[in-house]
Structure formats: C-alpha cells, structure tokens
Amino acid sequence: MKEKIQENLVKILDNLYGKELRIDELSVTLQENSDKNHGDLASNIALILAKPLKTNPQIIANTIKDAFINDEDLIKVEVAGPGFINFFLSTKTHNEVLKQIFKEKDSYGKSEPNNQTVLIEYVSSNPTGPLHVGHGRGAVFGSVLANLLREAGFKVDEEYYINDFGRQMNILAASLWLRYAQLFNNEINMIKNGYQGEYLISIADSLKQIQSDKFYSSQEEVSILIDPEKDEDEAFTDKIVEAIHSMLGEDFFFLRNFALEEILKIIKKDLLDFGVNHNYWFSESSLYEPDGSVKSKVDKSIEELSSLGFVYEKEDAVWFRSSDFGDDKDRVLKRSNGEHTYFASDVAYHSDKYDRGYDRVINIWGSDHHGYTPRVNAAMEASNRDIKKLEVVYIQFANLIRAGEKVTMSTRSGEFITLKELMDEVTTEAARFFYINRKADQHLDFDLDLAKEQSKDNPLYYIQYAHARICSVLKKSNTMIKDLIDSDLSLLDLEKEVEIQKILKQYPSVVERAAKSSEPHLICYYLKDLAGLFHSYYNSEKFIVEDEKLMNSRLFLLNGIKQVLLNGLLVLGINAPDEM
C-alpha cells in the first residue's frame, strides 16, 4: 500500500508539475507516522517543492491532496501544519501485514541483496590484556550494526585490528618476563608501569610449564631487580624494558609473541561467548613486514604520499601535509629516531582497506579518537581515495553502576572488571542489550542491578517476556498457525489491534533506517514499544474465547507480534525465550 501511494504521488506530481520540474530527480518518499492522529503515512514533498515552484507549500499540498482519489484502501488525505500531506489507510490495509509476516517469517524486515560490500572494524583493543567492560559497548555496537547491514542487503565483513606493534607490546613482553622470573625468585619486583593483572601471572605459569627455566638464571636476577624508589616514570620503564631485551636477545620476541598469542586466545573466546564474530583479524605488525623484495606497506604508503608532493622533512622527521586537507596541523609519519608513528600505521592500514575494494569502510572508534578522523581523511584524500566511503562512528564511554555507585577501574594496574566477569554476572544477553540500548554518542550508565532484575523496569526482560507470553497463549490454544491464515482479520478492529498492526508494518523501515544511519539502538526502542503495546493488549483482552473466528484472528495477530519480536531480538544477537 505504501508503494501504491508513492507511485500515485509521483504520477500526480508529474501531471501537475512535470512541465516545470524534473520529477524523476526528486526524492519522493513516504514516512510512517508514529502518531495515529496524523494518519498512517506522511509526505513532505510540498515543502520540498515550495522553493522551486515559488509557491506556498500549503497551496501545493492542497493541490496534491485534491488530485488523490480515495478508495477502500485510502480513506482520507489531509494537509497538516506548514504543508505535510497525511494519508489515512483503512483497517483492511493494516491486516495485510499479518499475512506478509506469516509468509516471510524470519525474512520479514530483510531487504534484497544490493551487491554492496562493507568492512566494519571494531573493538581493536590493544592485545595487552583481556577485554574489560569498557570494550563491551563497541563490541556489541559493531556486532549489531553488522547484523543490521546484512538485513539491509549488504555483504559485511567484520575485522579486528590487532595493535601488536610498538612500545606497549615491548612493555607487555618485559612484564611477562618479570612475572615469569618471580616464579623463581619472589624478591623480583614488577615495574609500576608494567601490566599488573592476574592474567599475566597465569600466562607466566604456562610459560614456565612449557619452557621450564630457559629464560631465567640466578646470575641475572641481581641486575634486573627493580628499585621501587626509582620506578616512577615512563623513562625508567623504558630502561627496564631495554635491559630485559638486551639480556634475552631474540628470546625477548619469543616472549612477546607468546604473550600476544595467549591474550588473543582469551580475547577471541570472550568475543565469541559475547556473540561477536570477527571473520578477519588484521595484524598491525604485518604493515611493517616487507612484501617479498619490496618495501613494507607503511613505507609504500609514505612513498605514495611523497610522490604526490604531500611529504616533507623537518628536524630529521618525516611529515605529512595534512593541514592542506583541513587538519589543524601537519602530522609526523616517522620520528627523528627512525621510528614510525601510530599515524603511519593508520595511513597504511586504511590504504589497505580501500585497496581491498569495499564500497563502504566503517570504523567503530571510542570517543577519545575524535581527533584521528581529520588526519586519516586527509591522508586518504591526498592519495586520491574517495573519503565518502569512510565512515566513523564514535562510541561514548560506558560507566558501570553497582548499588547506585560508579565502579572505578584501571587497565594498567589490573583493577578492572573483565567482559567475561560481566557476562557471568548479568548474562551475555543482558550485557548486549544494555550496551546497545542507547545512542552511541550518548554516555551510558550500565546499571548492573537493573540488568539482573526480572520486572517491567528491565527493558530486555519486558521484551523477552512478551515473546514468552505469546508462546504460552499459542500453546494453550492448541492451534496450528498454518490453519489461521484464512482468519477473518476484519475482526481485528479494536484500537489496540489496529495500533499493533501499524507498528508491525513499521519494522522493515525501522531496520532500513537503523542500518542507514548506523543507529542500532532504534531496534531496541522499537521492540520496547511493540512489547509495551502487546502487554497492554494482553492485560485488556482475552485470546482463547468461545467465538472461534475472533479467537483465530487474535491468535494470528499474536503470531505476527511473536515473529517480529523474534526477528528484532535476533538482529540484536539475543534469544527469544518460549517460557520464562
């Protein structure tokens, strides 16, 4: 019906204004009205045409309205406000959605494949320790956005960028050695700026079981004892790291890789348990590995920018002219000591993303990375890559609340709640929902107590309970859904029944809008609204009644609600229980 009205609207516009305007170039769309008093559908086309036609939009809207012919499906067209055109549909048109849902089942809400490819990179936490609750929001956001884009017809790849190159990895290797050495001599201290978490003690124990005392001897311990009074700043940390590196030689890199592999095992398992499935894992170190006889990807990307005239040297460092492309200043690619910057890795990594041929490249970054976008865009634009393909979604931090108090955490000191601990406390599904149940750029207070509560105040419980309630009614009815397809749906004329059918019709457009705008929280809001309507309907009406025709019609309506609740929860990566 929506498509029918839209086609008629285009024809009317062509008849009225085809000689003055190119109607085929206009964006003629209809939107679902959330307020039933304003009709079922609305168009703002009169407001769009006001300027080119130099006419009051209300006059245009009334002219378009008069050209529509009402019938049994379209019962009224009305002009409202400054020139909106509202369309009121008959109850019969609302009934059609129930048949559509029954026919399409878990495909209801899905779009046809559009042959476009998307790469979403998300989480990408430094592999220096297990994922903690601070990583959870970005993990769920990327996972649900990937599901949404697939629903909208895109082919999606999900990638984790492993930051396994540079100073932090060296500190990790040194920290592991110190924990390993402590197994032989408990007088050896850990550096304050090292990684303190219990997980590293466990990894050190695994290292000892495999390698025994290969990386330790009593002669070495005196030179490596840490003086707590001197262990104050990053410079001292670097000295200790270098001392351990010199002492171990090539074995230092074995320890670094051992720590990396063990921590990645933990990260991958936690993500899988959390319902997050990256199909690509991209190593930052690979950007620095020579490709056969040629240079590394980092060096090649710098050479590319240099050949285009956007690289210069100053004070023995290599700089990119990012200010030529809107950045607030130029950026260093290689320091005077010969070390590449993180930005150099970013340039090479994003160049690689583009070169893989995706139609859209989406980065899910923490809000503290706001300053990175202008410089990355500058590098891509300078190298003649289409920056419109690159999209960045910023995720605000999430505060963990327990008993009304904020939980404080510190990653380096090891004082944090891991993602696994969160899943164990509130369940994976509750964690996923509460992380995604707010717009990404808004701060989130994750209430642990509410997430465990079984009441209508817990939005996930409220939604899942709606699904379980419907399953219970359908089971009690002892009716096969396939036998209800010929029910007299005209009997569904109560205000709540019409309202429920209207919101069911909105689901595909909500999925499309959420995917287009990268706003997965819209699915949560939709499911809460649908569950709320159902619970109100459940509390006011009976379903298993003597009037068989009425009972069958209402059961068919419940089946539609049940299917859409299921489809929406699956997009969120959450189960729809049959009983609770």
Q: Are 137 and 176 in contact (CB under 8 A)?
A: no
Q: Is residue 562 in some structural domain?
A: yes
Q: Is residue 438 in some structural domain?
A: no
Q: Is residue 416 in some structural domain?
A: no
Residues 70-124 have pLDDT tens digits of: 777 788 899 998 999 999 887 777 788 999 999 999 999 999 999 999 999 999 9
Number of Cβ within a 10 Å radius of residue 242:
13
Of 372, 424, 434, 429, nearest to 401 (Cα)? 434
* Last-in-domain residue among 68, 89, 110: 89
CATH of the domain at 553: 1.10.730.10
Residues 378-418 have pLDDT tens digits of: 999 999 999 999 999 999 988 889 888 888 765 555 567 88
Residues 283-313 have pLDDT tens digits of: 999 999 887 667 899 999 999 999 999 999 9
* Last-in-domain residue among 56, 89, 122: 89
* Last-in-domain residue among 89, 110, 128: 89
Whether residue 490 has pLDDT greater than 80 = yes
Of 378, 320, 386, nearest to 357 (Cα)? 386
361, burial (CB in 10 Å: exposed 0-12, middle 13-18, buried 19+): buried
Q: Are 260 and 169 in contact (CB under 8 A)?
A: yes
The b/e string for 85-116 (b: 16+ C-beta within 10 A; e otherwise) is: bbbbbbeebbbebbeebbeeeeebbbbeeeee
Q: Tell me which residue has tokens 């009304």.
A: 404
Compute the half-sphere exposure of residue 47: CA atoms within 13 Å on the CB side of its CA. 11
Q: pLDDT: is 425 or 408 the higher one?
A: 425
Query: What total number of domains does the chain contain?
Result: 2
Rounded-to-integer distance, Cα 202 and Cα 129, Å: 12
pTM of this structure = 0.85
Determine the pLDDT at residue 224: 63
Number of Cβ within a 10 Å radius of residue 292:
4
Rounded-to-integer distance, Cα 41 and Cα 23, Å: 21
CA 138-142-148 angle, 5° bins: 145
Q: What is the mean pLDDT of residues 177-203?
A: 90
Q: Tell me which residue has tokens 């849902």.
A: 101
* HEC assignment per residue over 244-280: HHHHHCCHHHHHHHHHHHHHHHHHHHHHHHCCCCCCE
Compute the half-sphere exposure of residue 18: CA atoms within 13 Å on the CB side of its CA. 9
Determine the pLDDT at residue 292: 64
Q: Is residue 353 in some structural domain?
A: no
Rounded-to-integer distance, Cα 136 and Cα 282, Å: 20
Q: What is the mean pLDDT of residues 6-29?
A: 85
Q: What is the mean pLDDT of residues 350-355?
A: 97
Q: Is residue 146 in some structural domain?
A: no
Q: Is residue 579 in some structural domain?
A: no
* HEC assignment per residue over 526-538: HHHHHHHHHHHHH
Rounded-to-integer distance, Cα 320 and Cα 302, Å: 9
Rounded-to-integer distance, Cα 300 and Cα 166, Å: 19
Q: pLDDT: is 269 or 18 the higher one?
A: 269
Determine the pLDDT at residue 267: 97
Number of Cβ within a 10 Å radius of residue 496:
16
Q: State the DSSP code for 112.
A: P
Residues 225-251 have pLDDT tens digits of: 666 666 667 888 888 899 899 989 999
CATH of the domain at 20: 3.30.1360.70
Query: Between β-strands 360-366 and 390-395, what pairing exists: parallel, antiparallel or unpaired?
Result: parallel
Q: Is residue 246 in some structural domain?
A: no
548, burial (CB in 10 Å: exposed 0-12, middle 13-18, buried 19+): exposed
Determine which helix (DSSP H) or strand (DSSP E) holds 88, and give its type and residue range.
strand 84-89
User: What is the full DSSP assignment across 381-414?
Assistant: HHTT--GGGEEEEEE--EEEEETTEEPP-BTTTT
Determine the pLDDT at residue 220: 63
Structural domain for 63, as ranges: 2-89
Query: Between β-strands 280-283 and 155-162, what pairing exists: parallel, antiparallel or unpaired?
Result: parallel
Query: Between β-strands 317-320 and 331-334, what pairing exists: parallel, antiparallel or unpaired?
Result: antiparallel
Q: Is residue 559 in some structural domain?
A: yes
